[in-house]
């Protein structure tokens, strides 16, 4: 494999780093993981001259090398370890020219680690508008690194940046080995500790040495005994972490002031309010702010329901047609059945959710890109905190309405562990798109399709109520966990509120592709694996009864037409299969909720993915599994009666009991797998599985017995 020079992109959040990354790499990017942590590692290959390409590594946005969250820690882990696979040959620090001073803090830290740096000066136009003029060449002289003016949104200056990278790459080695002038002398803060660490660990750089002392516990490449050694040094020389960090930060800002004082000229404009401040007067208004937010939410709902149904119908029809075609041209065999009923049906079950997930993340990406999401965090923080969550939990909870898998991945920017854990634990209670088919059919079964108060459809209200129920369950579970769980570290909100800007549609597109990919790959592989297991369970039985099913029905009901016969046989076969046996075996457990063994089979099959429920029911009730037509299944379900009493099975009590069960139960292996990955263990996913199942069972029991 060809090896490329590695260029790391570093910068503050909102500095335009992601836009620059997208400009440099386009769609030619890969998302992987940094080893040992679950933080996304985005890399891409970028041609900088006709003959050379470099690898661009996008590092998480951070304000300094002292990390506050999981994401931010990655930056320090890499910068401090020259042996790391991602250790860059050169760093491009992206800075927002409008708040240059604050942005330069991180730049000086990275430069003091001795890394070759290029400074990408972004958003000069915005800075100019607010009266800040920057003398680029003077800045370059003062900072003694190449400074390139870019506009990451329009792509201006990108070619210039590529040239500058190309010019400086061969010089890499000379720069790292030689003396780099540093902005501040780190050794003065703790001369003995710095000296000893340099000797013992063979570190050449003063600033790196003091960072060893500051962050020994969390640096993954240090061994336990090395960490102890550093701890002893710290105690011996009375190393005061917080005090020294504060001193360093202040010293850096003083130095930055000295250096850029002349290069930056601020016009003392009239006290004019910028556009963002004006917009915020409405969007952060104590009353109108919330009105706007809920309107946005409503619009999002509308989009998910109304717009997504067209592509969904197309996918549904396409998969059904493909299956029908394959079944008609291929000889009937177990293998073909595995392909069509197992594999393709499983893939169809995944693809059907892509439109909703794409639309929801389009919304979320636009809200984030425009800068509005930060306002939502501010507006909602106080309310979310009452329930043990945090303003930053809003995005995961909203994403949870499409799919819990990308939603749980979106919790990574919550820096407080307890807040993040609670968000992860309750997000699957939000009604995801996989629950919609179940809600739709059960509501159609028992809620009349009438209009009340002139324009409100009763079934629509029932569906809304299910969403509300999921949300309420989520926040009240959070409240409970807030009381039970012990706090670990303090929770901060201190957060930059970016200026409003037009979303860059390219960035929105890339986010959508990324999230859909995450869903298809992460959730998809598990759903497919389980659909195959379930296919085996439904296609094989413990005895040869399954083979005799056809003959049985032919003797019982010789008058059936060919199609009706096939449907009855499928139903009977399912009864005799392992899945059928399992359903009967678990009947005593689910009887108190009003379910019989047939529903038991559906509960079992929908464990992998909830949406399988409807398909299974149609097989059980022998309406043929190809019929995804709600009306047919509904008619058949209404006719279903108890074998012993002759009373209908689908009473309102049972339907509501099932609705509640599906709203609360943790029936999604993919979510459990993601929670396992994000919490690094089986403890939390198991607790989640247990508490959600218990909640579902108890609530369904109560509902059934109240309505019975």
Partner 1 sequence: MAHPQKSIADMSIGEKGVICCFQDEDMSLKLLEMGCLPGTEVKMSNKTPFGGPVCIKVSGYALSLRKDEAATIMIR
Residue 170: other Cβ atoms inside 10 A: 10
Identify the burial level of 269 via C-beta atoms within 10 angstroms of its C-beta, where 0-12 means exposed, 13-18 middle and 19 or more buried.
exposed
Residues 6+ apart with CB under 8 A from 625: 341, 570, 615, 618, 619
Residue 634 found at the interface with partner 1 (CB under 8 A)? no
Asked if 476 is part of the footprint of partner 1 (rule: CB under 8 A), the reply reads: no
- Of 361 and 387, which CB lies nearer to partner 1 in the complex structure? 387
- Residue 49 interacting with partner 1 (CB under 8 A): no
Which residue, 101 or 554, has its beta carbon nearer to partner 1?
101
User: Is the separation of the CB atoms in 432 and 404 below 8 Å?
Assistant: yes
Determine the Cα–Cα distance for residues 439 and 547; give it in Å rounded to an integer.
35
Among 179, 269, 272, 490, binds partner 1 (CB under 8 A): 490
Strand partners, 452: 456
Residue from 7, 98, 424, 623 that binds partner 1 (CB under 8 A)? Answer: 98
Residue 249 or 651 with smaller CB distance to partner 1 = 249
Cα separations in angstroms, 117 against 92, 100, 178, 361: 6, 16, 14, 34
Q: Return the SS3 of 94.
A: strand
Per CB under 8 A, contacts with partner 1 among 380-399 are 381-383, 391
For the bound state, the minimum distance from the C-beta of residue 132 to partner 1, rounded and expressed in Å, comes to 7
Residue 68 binds to partner 1 (criterion: CB under 8 A): yes
Kindly give the interhelix angle for 669-679 and 524-539, rounded to the nearest 10 degrees: 140
Q: Which of 68, 168 has the CB closer to partner 1?
A: 68
Residues 6+ apart with CB under 8 A from 115: 79, 88, 90, 91, 176
Among residues 63, 183, 576, 691, which is the contact residue for partner 1, using CB under 8 A? 63
SS3 77: helix
Residue from the set 209, 230, 377, 604 that interacts with partner 1 by CB under 8 A:
377
Residues 492-531 that bind partner 1 (CB under 8 A): 492-499
Of 166, 175, 284, 296, the one binding partner 1 (CB under 8 A) is: 284
Minimal distance, residue 65 CB to partner 1, in Å: 10
Applying the rule CB under 8 A, the residues between 103 and 142 that interact with partner 1 are: 105, 130, 132
Contact assessment for residue 127 and residue 99, using Cβ atoms and an 8 Å cutoff:
no
Q: Are strands 5-11 and 53-58 parallel, antiparallel or unpaired?
A: parallel
Q: Which C-beta is closer to partner 1: that of 190 or that of 374?
A: 374
> Least separation, in Å, of the C-beta of 250 and partner 1?
7
Q: Which is nearer to partner 1, 38 or 130 (CB)?
A: 130
Question: Cβ closer to partner 1: 125 or 496?
Answer: 496
Q: Tell me the closest approach of the beta carbon of residue 316 to partner 1, in angstroms.
A: 44
Judged by CB under 8 A, which stretch of 77-85, 296-304, 488-496, 641-649 contacts partner 1? 488-496
Q: How far is the CB of 376 from partner 1 (least distance, A)?
A: 11
Element (H, E) at 469: helix 458-484
Q: Which stretch binds partner 1 (CB under 8 A): 95-103, 160-168, 187-195, 529-537?
A: 95-103
Question: For partner 1, which is the closer residue by CB, 72 or 89?
Answer: 72
Rounded least distance, CB 286 to partner 1, Å = 4
| Host H or E run for residue 615 | helix 612-620
183 binds partner 1 (CB under 8 A): no
85 counts as binding partner 1 under rule CB under 8 A:
no
Helix (H, G, I), strand (E, B) or coil at 11: strand
Q: 615 exposed, middle or buried (CB, 10 Å; 0-12, 13-18, 19+)?
A: buried
Tell me the C-alpha distance between 160 and 274, whole Å.
31
Q: CA 473, 474, 478 angle in degrees (round to 5)?
A: 115
Q: Which residues pair with 9 in a beta bridge?
A: 58, 92
Query: Which residues in the 242-281 window bind partner 1 by CB under 8 A?
Result: 242-243, 245-246, 249-250, 253, 276-277, 280-281
Give the total of residues touching partner 1 (CB under 8 A): 43
Alpha-helical segments (H) within 223-287? 224-236, 241-260, 275-283
Nearest to 602 by CA among 663, 651, 650, 538: 538
Among 50, 202, 286, 454, which residue sits at the site for partner 1 (rule: CB under 8 A)? 286
Question: Taking the complex as a whole, how short is the minimal distance between the CB of residue 193 and partner 1, in angstroms?
Answer: 19
Report, in Å, the least distance between residue 511 CB and partner 1: 23
Q: Are strands 264-266 and 132-134 parallel, antiparallel or unpaired?
A: antiparallel
CB closer to partner 1 out of 123 and 143: 123
Question: Please, what is the minimum distance in Å from the beta carbon of residue 489 to partner 1?
Answer: 10
Distance CA 24, CA 75 (A): 20
**What is the SS3 assignment for 133?**
strand
- Contact footprint for partner 1 (CB under 8 A): 63-64, 66, 68, 98-99, 101-102, 105, 130, 132, 242-243, 245-246, 249-250, 253, 276-277, 280-281, 284, 286-287, 289, 374, 377-379, 381-383, 391, 490, 492-499
């Amino acid at each position: 494999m060809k090896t490329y020079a590695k260029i790391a992109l570093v910068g503050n959040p909102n500095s335009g780093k992601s836009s620059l990354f997208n400009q440099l790499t386009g769609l030619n990017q890969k998302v992987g993981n940094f080893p040992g942590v679950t933080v996304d590692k985005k890399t891409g290959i970028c041609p900088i001259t006709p003959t050379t390409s470099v690898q661009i590594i996008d590092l998480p946005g951070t304000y300094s090398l002292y990390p506050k969250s999981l994401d931010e820690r990655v930056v320090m882990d890499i910068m401090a370890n020259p042996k790391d696979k991602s250790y860059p040959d050169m760093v491009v620090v992206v800075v927002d020219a409008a708040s240059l001073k604050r942005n330069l803090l991180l730049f000086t830290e990275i430069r003091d680690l001795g890394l070759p740096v290029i400074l990408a000066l972004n958003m000069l136009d915005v800075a100019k508008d607010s009266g800040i003029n920057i003398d680029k060449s003077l800045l370059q002289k003062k900072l003694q690194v190449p400074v390139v003016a870019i506009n990451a949104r329009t792509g201006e200056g990108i070619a210039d940046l590529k040239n500058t990278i190309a010019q400086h790459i061969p010089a890499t080695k000379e720069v790292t080995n030689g003396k780099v002038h540093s902005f501040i002398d780190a050794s003065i803060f703790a001369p003995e500790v710095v000296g000893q660490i340099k000797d013992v660990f063979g570190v050449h750089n003063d600033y790196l040495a003091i960072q060893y002392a500051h962050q020994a516990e969390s640096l993954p490449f240090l061994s336990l005994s090395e960490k102890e050694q550093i701890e002893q040094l710290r105690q011996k020389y009375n190393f005061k972490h917080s005090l020294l960090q504060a001193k360093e930060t202040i010293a850096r800002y003083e130095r930055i002031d000295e250096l850029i004082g002349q290069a930056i000229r601020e016009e003392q404009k009239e006290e004019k309010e910028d556009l963002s401040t004006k917009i915020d007067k409405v969007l952060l208004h104590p009353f109108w702010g919330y009105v706007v937010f809920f309107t946005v939410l409503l619009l999002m709902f509308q989009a998910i329901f109304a717009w997504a149904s067209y592509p969904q119908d197309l996918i549904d029809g396409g998969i059904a047609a493909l299956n029908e075609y394959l079944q008609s041209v291929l000889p009937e065999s177990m293998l073909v059945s595995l392909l069509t009923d197992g594999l393709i049906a499983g893939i169809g079950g995944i693809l059907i959710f892509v439109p909703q997930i794409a639309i929801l993340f389009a919304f979320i990406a636009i809200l984030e890109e425009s800068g509005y999401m930060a306002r939502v965090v501010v507006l909602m923080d106080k309310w979310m905190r009452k329930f043990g969550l945090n303003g930053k939990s809003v995005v995961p909870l909203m994403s949870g309405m499409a799919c819990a898998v990308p939603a749980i991945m979106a919790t990574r920017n919550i820096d407080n562990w307890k807040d993040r854990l609670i968000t992860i634990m309750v997000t699957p209670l939000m009604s995801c798109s996989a629950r919609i088919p179940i809600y739709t059919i059960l509501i159609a079964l028992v809620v009349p399709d009438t209009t009340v108060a002139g324009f409100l459809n009763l079934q629509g209200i029932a569906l809304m109520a299910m969403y509300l129920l999921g949300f309420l369950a989520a926040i009240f579970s959070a409240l409970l966990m807030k009381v039970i769980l012990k706090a670990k570290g303090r929770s901060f909100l201190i957060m930059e509120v970016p200026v409003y800007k037009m979303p860059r549609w390219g960035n929105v597109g890339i986010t959508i592709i990324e999230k859909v990919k995450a869903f298809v790959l992460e959730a998809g592989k598990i759903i497919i694996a389980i659909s195959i297991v379930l296919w085996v369970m439904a296609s094989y039985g413990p005895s040869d009864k399954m083979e005799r099913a056809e003959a049985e029905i032919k003797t019982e009901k010789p008058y059936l037409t060919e199609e009706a016969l096939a449907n009855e046989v499928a139903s009977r076969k399912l009864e005799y299969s392992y899945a059928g046996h399992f359903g009967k075996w678990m009947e005593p457990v689910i009887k108190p909720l009003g379910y019989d063994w047939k529903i038991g089979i559906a509960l079992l099959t929908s464990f992998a993915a909830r949406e399988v429920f409807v398909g299974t029911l149609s097989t059980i009730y022998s309406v043929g599994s190809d019929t995804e037509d709600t009306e047919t299944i509904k008619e058949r379900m209404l006719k279903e009666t108890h074998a012993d009493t002759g009373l209908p099975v689908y009473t309102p009590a049972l339907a509501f009991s099932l609705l509640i069960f599906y709203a609360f139960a943790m029936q999604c292996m993919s979510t459990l797998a993601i929670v396992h990955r994000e919490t690094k263990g089986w403890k939390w996913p198991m607790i989640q599985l247990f508490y959600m199942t218990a909640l579902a069972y108890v609530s369904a029991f109560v509902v059934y017995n109240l309505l019975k």
